[in-house]
Amino acid sequence: MSEILSNNDTITLYHAPQTRGTGIWTLLEELGVSYEMKVLNFAAGENQQAEFLAINPLGKFPTLVHKGTVVTEQVACYLYLADLFPEKGLAPAFNDPKRGAYLRWMAFQGSSFEPALIDQAFNRSPIEALHSPYGSFDTMLKALYDQIAKGPYLLGEQLYAVDIFWGATLKWCSMLGLITTNPVVDAYIERITSRPAFINVEQQDQALKLEQSSAANNGDIN
C-alpha cells in the first residue's frame, strides 16, 4: 500500500470507491490542485491492515495525509482542504460574515445529520429529543431543508465547499432511500452534482469499483 507518513507538501487521499471519500476526491477536483490518491479495497479488508490502521486507527475513508499530518472525518477534510487554498474561493475568509454559517452547516453534517441518519437507517429507537444530539430526525432534516430553500446555494449566491459536501451527501442518501427529498432539495442536489468535477469523479469512481469487483471475482484478492 503506502510508505510511512510523508512529511512533504503532497496531499495524499486514501480512498475506497463509492464511500464518503468520493466527496473529498470531488472537492480536490473542484479546487483543481495536485494530489495523489492511494486506492484501497475495503471489501477485501485492505483498510484493516496494520499499515493503514497506523494512519487511521478506525480504518475509515476519507483519510488525508499532508505535511506529515493525518486528517480524518469528512467535516475536517472539507474544512482543511478548502482553507488550504483560500485563493480558490471555496471557503469564506475568517472575517467574512458568512464564515459562521459556513462552519455551522459543515459541523451540522457530522454532529446532527449523520447520527440521525444512522439511528433512523438502523431502526434504533429514538431517544427523547432533550438528550439526542440532533433533537428529532424530522426537526434536523427540516432545519437543513429550510436552509437549502434559501438557495441557490446553502449560503446564498456563491458555491462553497459546504455545498460540495451536502450535494454529495444528499445524493447518496436519496439514492439509497435514506431520506425523503422535495423538488427544491432535488434541484439543489442536481445543481451541485451536475458540475463537471462530480461527473468526472463519479465516472472514475465507478470504474475503480468495477476494477475492484472484477479483481475479487478473478480471485486476485481474497
Ligand X SMILES: N[C@@H](CCC(=O)N[C@@H](CS)C(=O)NCC(=O)O)C(=O)O
Using rule CB under 6 A, residue 60 touches ligand X: yes
Q: Does 41 bind ligand X (CB under 6 A)?
A: no
Any idea what the Cα angle at residue 66 is, between residues 62 and 70, rounded to 5°?
Answer: 55
Q: By CB under 6 A, is residue 56 in contact with ligand X? A: no
- 208: which 3 cell numbers? 475503480
Contact call for residue 152 and ligand X (CB under 6 A): no
The CA-atom distances, in angstroms, between 23 and each of 46, 122, 162, 193 are 20, 23, 11, 10
Options 54-62, 89-97, 118-126, 177-185: segment touching ligand X (CB under 6 A): 54-62
List 43, 44, 98, 110, residue binding ligand X (CB under 6 A): 110
Helix (H) / strand (E) element for 51: namely helix 50-53
Query: What is the Rg, in whole angstroms, of the alpha carbon atoms belonging to the chain?
Result: 18
- Whole-number minimum distance, CB 175 to ligand X, in Å? 13
Binding status of residue 212 toward ligand X by CB under 6 A: no
User: Is residue 47 involved in binding ligand X (CB under 6 A)?
Assistant: yes
Q: Choose among 50, 28, 54, 25: nearest CA to 39.
A: 25
- In the complex with ligand X, which residue's Cβ is closer, 7 or 213? 213
d(CA 126, CA 221): 40
Nearer to ligand X, 109 or 155 (CB): 109
Positions in the binding site for ligand X (CB under 6 A) = 19-20, 42, 47, 59-62, 73-74, 110
